[in-house]
Structure formats: structure tokens, C-alpha cells
Amino acid sequence: MQMERPLLNDSSTFPDDAVLMHHLGNTFKIWSAFLELLKSGYPEIRLDWKYYKDGKSWLCKASRKSKTICWISVWDQYFRISFYFTDKAHGLISSSSIPETLKHQFTRAYPVAKLKPVIVNIKERSDLNAVEKLIDIK
């Protein structure tokens, strides 16, 4: 069984709108809504696409000054936003209004270098609600 991998594996092809539209399909509208959410609600957050040789794919880092807020990867017809929190965020996450599945994901995750992931697969416009709350926690 082959594991699903993120797309954008060609180091010579920068993930511009045309490339993203090709891979995201209808979800590109949600990508645009995500960009608008950042622009209007979090104008200090910058996006930076970079090709990572170790993972053999392009990833987008969203950061505020030197602090990484989240990582974004592109998959077949959706995109994934990954947040990493220390255990100190446990109270904020458990008392937030994000879906229970994401809360459980955080509490059950094994820490990697003291960080625990909360990963949101963005397939519906409503998935951005959890992303907004997680940005606020971060």
C-alpha cells in the first residue's frame, strides 16, 4: 500500500496560481478564501513557498516576524495546514471551539521535539473556521 504524498514535487516548478489551480481544482476557491482571510484578519502573516529537498516537495511557511504560525502543503484536490504547539497550548486548544477531532488529534499526538501537531485538511470552506481559531491560539 502506497502512502499518499503531497504534490508539488518538481523543484523547478514554483507553485503559482496556475499550478495551484491545477492541483486543487474546485478547492482553489477555498485557497483564495484562505488568502483573503490572512490578508484581512492577519495582515502581518507572510507566506513563503520553498522547495524542501528532504521531503521532495514545495511547502508554504506562514510566519509572523520570525515565528512560524503554520505549514501548508498541497494534495490532490485539497490542501493541508499543519500547526505545531507545545503542551502549554493544551488548555487553549481544549477550551477552543475547534472540532473535537482536532482536539483529540492534539491530545493523542506524540511530541516531536516538544511540539505536537494539529493538522487540518482543507476540503470545505467551513474547514477555515478551525484554521482561524488555531491561528488565534498560535
Per-residue pLDDT of the chain (138 residues; tens, 9 = 90+): 445 778 999 999 999 999 999 999 999 999 999 999 999 999 999 999 999 999 899 999 999 999 999 999 999 999 999 999 998 999 999 999 999 999 999 999 888 889 999 999 999 999 999 999 999 999
Instruction: Give me the pLDDT at residue 110, please.
Output: 87
Number of domains in the chain: 1
Nine-digit cell string for 8: 508539488
What residues make up the domain containing 117?
17-137
Residue type, 66: S
CB atoms within 10 A of CB 111: 12
Instruction: Give me the pLDDT at residue 112, please.
Output: 85
Nearest CA to 40 out of 106, 138, 137, 135 is that of: 135
* Within-domain flag for 1: no
* Within-domain flag for 120: yes
The domain that contains 23 carries what CATH number?
Answer: 3.90.1150
* Within-domain flag for 23: yes
* Within-domain flag for 69: yes
* Within-domain flag for 3: no
**Residues 122 and 82: beta-carbon distance below 8 Å:** no
* Within-domain flag for 6: no
* Within-domain flag for 27: yes
**Residues 118 and 105: beta-carbon distance below 8 Å:** yes
* Within-domain flag for 97: yes
Instruction: Give me the pLDDT at residue 92, please.
Output: 96
Instruction: Give me the pLDDT at residue 18, please.
Output: 97
Instruction: Give me the pLDDT at residue 5, please.
Output: 75
pTM of the complete model beyond 0.85: yes
